[in-house]
Amino acid sequence: MDPQVPSGMLAARGDDHGATEAPLLAEARLDAAWGTSPGGLAFPRTAGPALDLPLRDPRRFILRTPWHEFSGDLSQGLLIQGQIGPDGAGVAPICHSGNIFAYRSRGRPVSIDVEAGIASWGLERLAGQVVLFHETVLEGPCGLFGRRMRLGRLRYEYRVPADSPVLHLTVRLALEGGIALQGVRLSTALDAMSPEAGSHAIRRVTVQRLDGPEAGVAMDGADPVTLQVGPAQSLLFEDDSPTAALATRLQLSDGHRLASAQARRRADGALHWTVLRYAIGSVAPGGVVVLREERLRLPRAFAADMAAASASAHPADPALPPGAGAPRRTVGGGQAALHLVDLALGNIKAIGSELARLNYAAGRAGPAAVLPVAPRRAGLGSRICTQHDLEQEWLHYWCRRLRMAPLYHRKVWEDCFVLQVLWESGMIGPGMRGLGFAVGQEPLPALMAAEGVHVLASDLGGDDARAAAWRNTSQHASEAEALFRPDLVDRTSFDRLVRFRPVDMAVLPADLLRGEFDFLWSVCSLEHLGSLEAGARFVRDAMRALRPGGIAVHTTEYNLDPSGETLASGSTVLYQRRHLDRLAADLAADGHSMLPLQGSAEAPGFFDRLVDLPPYPHEGGAADAPHLRLALAGHTVTSAGLVIRAGPGRPAPGG
């Protein structure tokens, strides 16, 4: 791979769909739902399709569309789908996993755990889509004497298009030439449907039968709950969140083969696992069976519109162009005003995206920028993210090393800022010791190891309830292996230099605070500790991990309003200059020195004055929309980087 051609951002535009079949949820039906829904789902359509694939390892991948974030480990048959949330992370995740293959041998039922026998897996980038798959070699008793034999292969393939929120599932069974099976049942499943942490608990299921109207399913009685017996067109699962409720709709292309749908619940009654069993019957030697489903995860408010559009749309006809015969509702009153607002926001974002593309084409940033082969000194101190930085050679060098494009995005700036400060301070080199907090699946530990740094990476323990949301979306590390990046570091160096241990940033272990590290860092983590005070306390306490002269680098959310209201407590807090000035004074009292914060709300770059509005790139906005500043809970926010040099040090109060 050419390191000057970053591979993290894939874009598919216009008619580059790459579709291989006419979808059951036709374009007309999606248009109907988008055009009539109250939440502006029409906007992602105008913003243009995009696929963001920052992690490509099929065992630890992340794939983002305008609507969803997919992650997981295909070698284990694990595909996690989260709805893109306000902070860009996948929220309310569900798992496409838990499949079973069944047949009869010598009159007895045989069941095979599909995920336990996976022999091959992969991730394929095609035109306008990404295909995720895992394939199981089926082995079991067969024949007159019931000997264990190789039966065939079973492939689960998930097609994620750039221009649609629908996930296309294809299940393909191919028997060996000399093998015939009876009583075959194929299954599809959903697991971890109601996250342990969070309010998105599924307690309502509606089934659209082939021979009747939609009907709700009673959720009382013992497990397993029978959702449906016999053929069906679709199943709709709805959660009971009081806000931002979500629904998952399964459209069954082969619903006439459905034998049953059953679910198991947690102790609190929320659905946990659902399996759909399709009755295939006898399959001849060398026979091939294919099943298809379309899975749509969407806000519950749109579910009724989607169902109505799906029920009343013109039947699929290959002679008709996409959208022909689709019913469309007129929009009036308050919805018309909201529609105009959406269009105005869309116009602003389109202008920003076009200006960014012009800068990218000129090589100031983006995929066409020439990336230096050696680092450049920039004299960095504490500062806020700016357009100027994203166009500088120092940042472009680290983008080259990290294998990513220097896009106008504050998250790109954060990783590069940390590395540049540490390099300028002489901290990135053989024999240095670094401590990382809340590393998730950052690329930084791998790159540091490539430079000979001994790294102790940390994150919340896997059994900590607060880690559940991050873990379900592959943004949590519970072992060093989750941090290995073969494109950044060789296996031998990584295994020798990178260690992992669970650490709660709110209660730092005493054995880490002995002044044994040369540097430490955290990337956008301290603002998630519950309050402004808790984040500041972590920064002060962590300084005791450093030797005198050591360097701490942190990035955090920064409210550009220096004196107005802010978010002072909750899952995300926003620091203002006054809070960081107070932190600098407290650090000085502890014997340390925080470099003065540079930059202001009046930075000269155009993209410094362009405040990104929802939907953001990770929520369905244009993937190339500048994202240096954004609106968050009524505040204008960017990223700030803090640089602190350790002095002789004295214990922070309460430390």
* DSSP secondary structure string for all residues of 114-151: TGGGEEEEEEEEETTEEEEEEEEEEEEEETTTTEEEEE
Q: Report pLDDT for 628.
A: 94
What CATH number did the domain enclosing 550 receive?
Answer: 3.40.50
Q: Among residues 276, 23, 292, 295, which one has the least CA distance to residue 173?
A: 292
Residues 306 and 387 in one domain: no
pLDDT digits (tens, 9 = 90+) for 168-222: 999 999 999 889 999 999 999 998 888 665 566 788 888 988 877 778 887 766 6
Residues 252 and 387 in one domain: no
Residue at a domain's end among 259, 278, 312: 312
Residues 260 and 397 in one domain: no
Residue at a domain's end among 278, 295, 312: 312
CB-based contacts of 321, cutoff 8 Å, min separation 6: none
Residue whose entry in the numeric block shows the structure tokens 């049942």 = 185
Q: Report pLDDT for 20.
A: 31
pLDDT digits (tens, 9 = 90+) for 50-103: 788 999 999 999 999 888 899 999 999 999 998 876 655 557 788 999 899 999
CB-based contacts of 420, cutoff 8 Å, min separation 6: 375, 378, 380, 394, 395, 398
Distance CA(83)–CA(70), nearest Å, equals 9
Count of structural domains within the chain: 2
Token pair recorded at residue 630: 């954004």
Does the residue 463 lie in any domain? no
Residues 85 and 223 in one domain: yes
pLDDT mean by block of 10 residues, the chain; 655 residues: 30 28 35 36 42 91 90 94 69 86 92 93 89 95 87 95 90 92 94 71 85 75 84 87 73 92 85 92 91 85 47 36 34 51 74 91 94 95 96 98 95 97 97 96 95 95 52 52 93 96 94 97 94 96 97 97 87 94 96 92 86 72 83 89 87 44
Does the residue 416 lie in any domain? yes
Distance CA(226)–CA(349), nearest Å, equals 47
Residues 153 and 281 in one domain: yes
Q: Which domain holds residue 395?
A: 381-438+505-645
Residue 142, amino acid: C
Residues 534 and 385 in one domain: yes
Residues 386 and 304 in one domain: no
Residue 30, helix vs strand vs coil: helix
Residues 387 and 274 in one domain: no
Does the residue 626 lie in any domain? yes
Residues 53 and 187 in one domain: yes
Residue at a domain's end among 278, 297, 312: 312
Residues 425 and 301 in one domain: no
Does the residue 53 lie in any domain? yes
pLDDT digits (tens, 9 = 90+) for 429-473: 999 999 999 998 899 999 999 999 999 999 987 565 544 444 443
Q: What is the DSSP code (8-state) at residue 504?
A: B
Token pair recorded at residue 205: 């299921």
Does the residue 185 lie in any domain? yes
Does the residue 475 lie in any domain? no
Residue whose entry in the numeric block shows the structure tokens 């155009």 = 606
Residues 164 and 295 in one domain: yes
Q: What is the DSSP code (8-state) at residue 321?
A: P
Residues 430 and 539 in one domain: yes
- pTM as predicted: 0.52
Q: Report pLDDT for 301.
A: 54
Does the residue 373 lie in any domain? no
CB-based contacts of 389, cutoff 8 Å, min separation 6: 383, 395, 413, 417
Q: Among residues 278, 265, 233, 277, which one has the least CA distance to residue 252?
A: 233
- Please give the helix or strand (H or E) that residue 47 lies within, else none: helix 42-47
How far is residue 466 from each of residues 453, 460, 528, measured CA to CA in Å? 30, 8, 11
Distance CA(571)–CA(583), nearest Å, equals 20
Strand residues in 166-268 grouped as ranges (E):
166-175, 181-190, 202-209, 214-216, 225-229, 232-239, 246-252, 258-265
Q: Report pLDDT for 308.
A: 46
- Please give the helix or strand (H or E) that residue 421 lies within, else none: helix 410-424
What CATH number did the domain enclosing 259 receive?
Answer: 2.70.98.30
Q: Report pLDDT for 182.
A: 93
Does the residue 18 lie in any domain? yes
Distance CA(248)–CA(94), nearest Å, equals 9
